[in-house]
Structure 1
Amino acid sequence: MSSSASGLPGDPPGGRRAAAVWGIGVAVYFVAITYRTSLGVAGLDAVDRFSINASALSTFSILQLLVYAGMQIPVGLLVDRLGTKKVLALGAVLFTAGQLGFALSHSYGAALASRALLGCGDAMTFISVLRLGSRWFPARRGPLIAQVAALFGMAGNLISTIVLARLLHGLGWTPTFAGSAVGGAVVLALVLLFLKDHPEGYEPQPRPSHHRGPSFVRRQIGAAWREPGTRLGMWVHFTTQFPAMVFLLLWGMPFLVEAQGLPRATAGELLTLVVLANMAVGLVYGQVIARHHRARTPLALGTVGATALVWGAALVWPGEHAPMWLLVLLCAVLGACGPASMIGFDFARPANPPERLGTASGIVNMGGFTASMTTLLAVGVLLDATGENYRIAFASVFVLQALGITQILRLKGRAHRRERERVVASRVETVHVPA
């Protein structure tokens, strides 16, 4: 009887120890998200502190995401090569230093450098957490584990929108950001003391000597990119994630306060609604995909369609301000963007072997952050060019959505066929494994 009779060959068992170790990785991701999104509630304060305009403000997030997106493939390769513990520890050091530097910055240049450092450390977290989950839990639980990891990450966003926003108002810039850097030191200690790359008895096979050097890196990236599932996953991530990311990371608060005339407290509550909706929808999407794998593409495209519909309605609503019920609906729908982006990883996961999963995940994760970076820049430039006309600036979202939908429709048939071929081949190999 082969081990495949009860699960995939080499499938880890999961259990309480797996949850505890994986939870440490998720805690690192939680802190990274708190730092990443902290500027979203401090955008107006940053304008005053550094005496900058909308384009310069957007540069903070653009640079941070540029570093993040550019690091995804190198980080994927590092995770495949060095393992999760070393990469997560390095990430915690970098994003903590970036947050502390941002707290102490008084010049625009120093603040930019700090956000770049933060983005570099942040880039090392999520791919590492995905890899940690695949090493400690059975493959069939992959979709749910990924959604739960994202859920805890969004809880970090909740800390930004509720706790940091209030501390910033009460304590000021430096005490708030410097105090938050303590969280990074705590999770770094947890990683160094308790995190393990894999359970005992499930060590990965030693890498052959030729699995090194630039030629291997090129082959690894090329092999992952040639898989239609990897490319489809990247475009799903690209198309679904960025509207909510742009809203939460920077432009949601100014839009709600300056364009919609809401008090900052009310705008903060609406940003909190995005986060809460994300957490609730993430659990639903994870369960649905785990039970009905064919639901992946309809869920992704449905989320894009709903986002475009409500986003457009808020922009074209007659009169100066959209009604509160529509803004609430917009924020609730934006909450589905994050869970929908996680579907991209579920296309890449079965398309690539475990030793290439970090690289493939890096390619997928680069999609949404590239779209977010592009839109952040477009909104900032258009706001300055149009005298802060949010209707025109926010309409740039539709251009990237159209591009992404085109690519998803082009690749989905090819990726699904390839995935079915792999499933059939795996079943044939299982049948022929000797007892």
Structure 2
Amino acid sequence: MFHRNGLAVAALEAQERFQVGPALLSALPVIQLVVYVVLQLPAGLLADRLGPSRTLLIGLLAMAAGVVLFAVAPGFPLALAARMLIGLGDAVIFLNVIRLAALWFPRGQYALVSAFTGVFGSLGQVASVAPLSAALAGFGWTVAFLGAGAVTLVMTLLVLFVVRDRPPGARVGAPSAPISIRASVVEAVRARGPRVGMTNHAVIQAPYTMLAALWGYPFLVEGAGLPSATASVALTVLGVATLWVAPVVGACIGRWPAARRPIAITTATLVSLGWLVFVGWPGGPPPTPLVIVHFAVGAGATVMAAPMSFDFARDGIPARRTGVASSLVNMSGFAVVVLTTVGAGAILEALPEPHGGVDYQMAFLPVATTSTVGAVLLTAQLWRYPRERP
């Protein structure tokens, strides 16, 4: 999560360092997310066939190499290659962590474990705001990102020596014949749960991820007129203040599966209405306090996305083949992140600088559209969804 969102607070500095405009700047997180999305299905197959711990090692090594290259890249082409490496590593991390959860914990605890996974991941997102901003200011670009690479290598060693695919003494059972890639995908798409998980992830996870990945910090500075320090602190506080939401939601839907439907519909409705108000506010963005409330709802929805979306994804899918279903859920959410991030960058590029609040209202029209359409589709999907897990 640190590597996925770290470019947001460094966006303005990256624009100056690599001498690019908003459209090319958005290509840095977008290429990372495109690689992430494209590799979701292969990552799910690796999770099911190679095993989580080995796949995690591959991902962490690629990510460490990418962030080191990003630290020393003298120009835009190498920086782009570095973000591709980071995206390659990122593609396998979360899927394999929740794949471990499916192997280590009973079905009723899966949502709660996924929630705590999201919480710890959010700590990386928090570290990618104020702490990274301070490191960039105090040590400079190269040292700050080389330090991030060193931490990633330490995490790689921890996975190598600590993480195991199953609890000690667990019965593996008779190996089942692997099904084809096409059969795995068809199985996941035909099941109702993964389809709902895909829509839910796209609606409640994507909007704030787009802000955290790139455009939240520039908007607060350029569009809302906040000082850079205030903007980074605001995003950090939002990240920390919403962490409690995921375990609470995970515990609720683990104990009461019927709660998933009203929670999902209510959250999607609030997120979509918030974006419609934001882009439709006359004369510029809403007052800063309302913007912060809107961002807080989005941040809370994002940390709720994992326990709900991946719990839906397991409905009707054997535990040993959850990787493909989870990869499709992840793919849907981040495909929307890519579309809305690119859309915002393209709109800002077409508008004259300096960019003000109205410019960002126009730039955020794509995310307002995807949120609204997704909320309607999710409500239709959940209208007659079973109260208990299928």
Q: TM-score, normalised by structure 2?
A: 0.94
> Is the CA contact 2:197–2:329 (under 8 Å) kept in the aligned structure 1?
yes
Q: Which residue of 2 aligns with 1:426?
A: none
Cα offset for 1:321?
5.8
Cα offset for 1:271?
0.9
**Which one-letter code corresponds to 1:331 in the other structure?**
F
Q: Which residue of 1 aligns with 2:298?
A: 334
d(CA) in 2 for partners of 1:234, 1:184: 29
Taking structure 1 as reference, are residues 55 and 203 closer, same or farther at Cα in structure 2, changes over 3 Å only? farther
Question: 1:231-283, CA deviations, whole angstroms, 9 ceiling, x for partnerless residues?
Answer: 11111101111111011110001101011111001111121133123312212
1:313-328 matches, within 5 Å, as: 313-319=277-283, 322-328=286-292
Q: Which residue of 2 aligns with 1:234?
A: 198
Taking structure 1 as reference, are residues 320 and 225 closer, same or farther at Cα in structure 2, changes over 3 Å only? closer
Q: CA RMSD in A?
A: 1.8
Q: Does 1:78 align with 2:65?
A: no
> Is the CA contact 2:275–2:368 (under 8 Å) kept in the aligned structure 1?
no
Question: 1:314-371, CA deviations, whole angstroms, 9 ceiling, x for partnerless residues?
Answer: 4444555643321321221122221332211111113210121111111111111011
Q: Does 1:409 align with 2:379?
A: yes
Q: Tell me, which stretches of 5 or more residues in structure 2 are unaligned?
A: none
1:277-288 matches, within 5 Å, as: 277-288=241-252
Match for 2:178 among 199, 211, 217? 211
Question: 1:56-102, CA deviations, whole angstroms, 9 ceiling, x for partnerless residues?
Answer: 11111111111111111111110100111100111110111111110
**Which one-letter code corresponds to 1:135 in the other structure?**
L
d(CA) in 1 for partners of 2:267, 2:379: 15
Match for 2:74 among 85, 97, 106? 106
Taking structure 1 as reference, are residues 126 and 96 closer, same or farther at Cα in structure 2, changes over 3 Å only? same
d(CA) in 2 for partners of 1:217, 1:414: 30
> Is the CA contact 2:63–2:88 (under 8 Å) kept in the aligned structure 1?
yes
**Which one-letter code corresponds to 2:367 in the other structure?**
V
Taking structure 1 as reference, are residues 227 and 68 closer, same or farther at Cα in structure 2, changes over 3 Å only? same
1:29-428 matches, within 5 Å, as: 33-208=1-176, 210-211=177-178, 216-319=180-283, 322-342=286-306, 343-387=308-352, 388=355, 389-413=359-383, 415-416=385-386, 422=390
**Which one-letter code corresponds to 1:141 in the other structure?**
Q
> Is the CA contact 1:300–1:341 (under 8 Å) kept in the aligned structure 2?
no
d(CA) in 2 for partners of 1:166, 1:265: 9
Q: Tell me, which stretches of 5 or more residues in structure 1 are unaligned?
A: 1-32, 423-435
Q: Which residue of 2 aligns with 1:429?
A: none
d(CA) in 2 for partners of 1:411, 1:283: 25
Question: 1:368-416, CA deviations, whole angstroms, 9 ceiling, x for partnerless residues?
Answer: 1011000001101111123341111112212111332233234325653
**Which one-letter code corresponds to 2:212 in the other structure?**
L
d(CA) in 2 for partners of 1:292, 1:96: 40
d(CA) in 2 for partners of 1:217, 1:271: 40
> Is the CA contact 2:194–2:315 (under 8 Å) kept in the aligned structure 1?
no
> Is the CA contact 1:270–1:331 (under 8 Å) kept in the aligned structure 2?
no
Taking structure 1 as reference, are residues 70 and 278 closer, same or farther at Cα in structure 2, changes over 3 Å only? farther
Higher CA-based Rg = 1
> Is the CA contact 1:95–1:117 (under 8 Å) kept in the aligned structure 2?
yes
**Which one-letter code corresponds to 1:391 in the other structure?**
Q
SS of the equivalent of 1:130 reads helix
Question: 1:9-44, CA deviations, whole angstroms, 9 ceiling, x for partnerless residues?
Answer: xxxxxxxxxxxxxxxxxxxxxxxx111111011000
Aligned length: 384
Identical pairs, percent = 36
SS of the equivalent of 1:295 reads helix
Question: 1:83-136, CA deviations, whole angstroms, 9 ceiling, x for partnerless residues?
Answer: 111001111101111111100111111001100110110111111110111211
d(CA) in 2 for partners of 1:76, 1:206: 21
